[in-house]
Amino acid sequence: MKDYSGKIMEIDLSHGSIRIKDIEAQLVRQYIGGIGFNARILYDEIPIGADPFGEENVLVFAAGTLVGTPFPTASRSEASAKSPLTGGFGTSNSGAFFGLQLKTAGYDVLVIKGKSPQPVYISINDEDVKILSADSLWGKECWECVDYLEKKHYGSEIALIGPAGENLVRFASIENGRYDGWGRTGLGAVMGSKNLKAITVKGTKGRKAHDPQALLNAVKKGQQLIKSASSYHAFTEYGTLNASIPYSNFKAISAHNFTKGTLPNWKEIGGRPIVDRYGSRHVACQSCIIACGHWVELSEGKYAGIKMKDLEITPVMSFGATVGLNTEAIIKACELCQRYGVDMVSAGGVLGFAIELYKQGIISEDDVGFELDFGDDEAAFKLFHMIINREGIGDILAEGSKRAAEQFEQGDKYAIQVKGMEIPMIDPRGRWSTWTLGMLTNIRGGDHLRCRNPVENLRFNERDEEYRKERFGFKQTMYEKLDMPEELKRKTIDLENDITYIPEMSKWAEDLINLYNSVGICIRPPVMEKVGPTIIAEACQAFTGIEFTPAELMESAERTWNLIKLFNLREGEKAEASKFPRRFYEEELNGQVLDEGKIQKVLEIYYQLRGWDPKTGRPERATLKRLQLEQPGE
């Protein structure tokens, strides 16, 4: 292994000990990197039933295999721990420059164990690793800490938590510098429970490729592929916001806590025009040729003076649709989330949940201290601060909507979550697709980022009564260029009848995204549309010198997915948990409710495709054997 940085750094905060281990060749072969390493480490290290806030929880950061090369979008790193929000495998992916610094400091994986008796932060400078006191930083918001740490550790990248993580808000995030973060599943609270405020990393070691010329060729090919994607130009201009209007037209956005499907004037609040109006220059993560981020500056109005990287669809939907705020308030909400270290999706979900409880009369002004309404930004931000500081009703809401719902009569009806995690953006009653089935099958709960159809067509929204298929809708060339084994492609997409089969595509998409998260590339649509296992195998091979075939890579991604499923089952996940909130089956939206029985049938097809038991969703022994995941003693 010529250039696998090839080191795991293990820091035990309980004892203040630091250990550096080599990565075994077997681990690289089987799990590639990134989320794969995380899955194996968490499965091996966390005892069953461990308290997410306890000493035995383990927090792992791993940079993807290709991070540090110019391969397009290779910037991403994965953070994982047992989630305080879902109780299962908690994991989140972030771009920017942290992964690059971690890799060039000489480490693929950073494992944090134990619990420090007092607030500390970790500073990594190649081999020089220190655990330093964070007394002066504790309680401060993120941007202030970044300013301080950037001065003190010049040139370092910083992962840190804000007051939300310190106060163990169950959906706190770990922030990645000022503007990015590992948002979902409450990893910030895990970091807070370990009394760890921040990690600064600076690396000075260059990385050598096994075959530099071959790698450059793969990079060039990768860039050309992405540039040829149908969504490339739209993405370089408007980023993720491209999807905002189509979903609103389908009446499938999370408006007012999933009661409306769309909002009047949504185009002006949360569509592409807001990029023209508020955005300025584009910002990229390391090695990215898409640059979907924008600098935003608010020069006038109530929130004048905000300057940040923003205008992504997820926060826009979360605060614009779910909570009903206007664009300037959305930008303010993003700023608050980043300063205080909160997951934007869950924050919006919990605020929307609270507002609806208020509107339904389940909680009153006496409980909250002030009035709540959709679209009232001042009240929403007041409540936001109460959640961060766990004051009054905020203390209940900080537990996440599922736990909070247990405190209120009929609460579960208004808590829009799957397995404890708040659902983002889209309403499956408005549009049923691979994406929405993915919210049920996702290994981290109600989330949209681990299963996306690489060839999703946003021009059509035809509902299949059996929930089994969606319209393909592209020309034959798109089908031909999709990098997928031929036989599987024929089973997944029926070109003649213009159909994509949802369960088949879900499995492929989940494994593909898992592969992306292993090698550290991004899941933006232009990448997903064109970059498949073939080109990734070429790049990985050129970089590491290990021979990977595309099929092996996909198998290892599947292995990781199965291992995470085993982790969740071990923690007591039930098959019944793969279910949408009650509202989606009971309350009509656009005259539609979801049919629980039919969705269950589709799930069963999906389980069978995965080689899992169709009733319990547990991987069959033969599947585990095929993936070399058998438990010792079985």
Partner 1 sequence: MNSKKMGMRMKRIFVNAEACTGCGLCQLLCSVHKTGQWHPALARIKIKEMPELELNVPVLCLHCSNPPCEVYCVMNLIYKDPNTGYTLRREDKCIGCRACEIACPFSAAVMDPIREVVVNCDLCEGDPLCVSGCPEGALLYMEDSEAGERKRKAAVSLGAWRASRPRDGRGSL
Cβ nearer to partner 1, comparing 75 with 167: 75
Check: CB of residue 278 under 8 Å from CB of residue 352: no
Residue type, 381: F
- For 126, 159, 161, 195, 270, the CA distances from 130, given in Å and listed in that order, are 11, 15, 18, 15, 44
CB of 231 to partner 1, least distance (A): 16
Cβ nearer to partner 1, comparing 282 with 481: 282
Question: Partners of 91 in the beta sheet?
Answer: 80
Q: How far apart are CA 588 and CA 595, in angstroms?
A: 11
Give how far the C-alpha of residue 182 lies from the chain's centroid of Cα atoms, to the nearest Å. 7
Cβ nearer to partner 1, comparing 178 with 272: 178
CB of 180 to partner 1, least distance (A): 12
CB of 293 to partner 1, least distance (A): 8
Token pair 């550290």 is found at 520
- For 229, 284, 454, 519, 534, the CA distances from 218, given in Å and listed in that order, are 17, 20, 21, 14, 10
CB of 207 to partner 1, least distance (A): 4
* Contacts with 524 (C-beta within 8 Å, 6 or more apart), sequence order: 73, 235, 240, 290, 292
Cβ nearer to partner 1, comparing 191 with 219: 219
Strand 120-125 and strand 196-202: the pairing is: parallel
CB of 242 to partner 1, least distance (A): 18
* Site of interaction with partner 1 (CB under 8 A): 68-70, 97, 100, 104, 178, 203-209, 212, 216, 223, 280-289, 291, 295, 297, 307
CB of 106 to partner 1, least distance (A): 11
Cβ nearer to partner 1, comparing 284 with 569: 284
CB of 313 to partner 1, least distance (A): 19
Cβ nearer to partner 1, comparing 177 with 438: 177
CB of 519 to partner 1, least distance (A): 15
* R_g of the chain, CA atoms, integer Å: 23
Cβ nearer to partner 1, comparing 286 with 322: 286
> By three-state DSSP, how is residue 202 classified?
strand
Q: How far apart are CA 68 and CA 221, in angstroms?
A: 17
Nearest to 346 by CA among 528, 158, 112, 92: 92
> By three-state DSSP, how is residue 110 classified?
strand
Cβ nearer to partner 1, comparing 281 with 459: 281
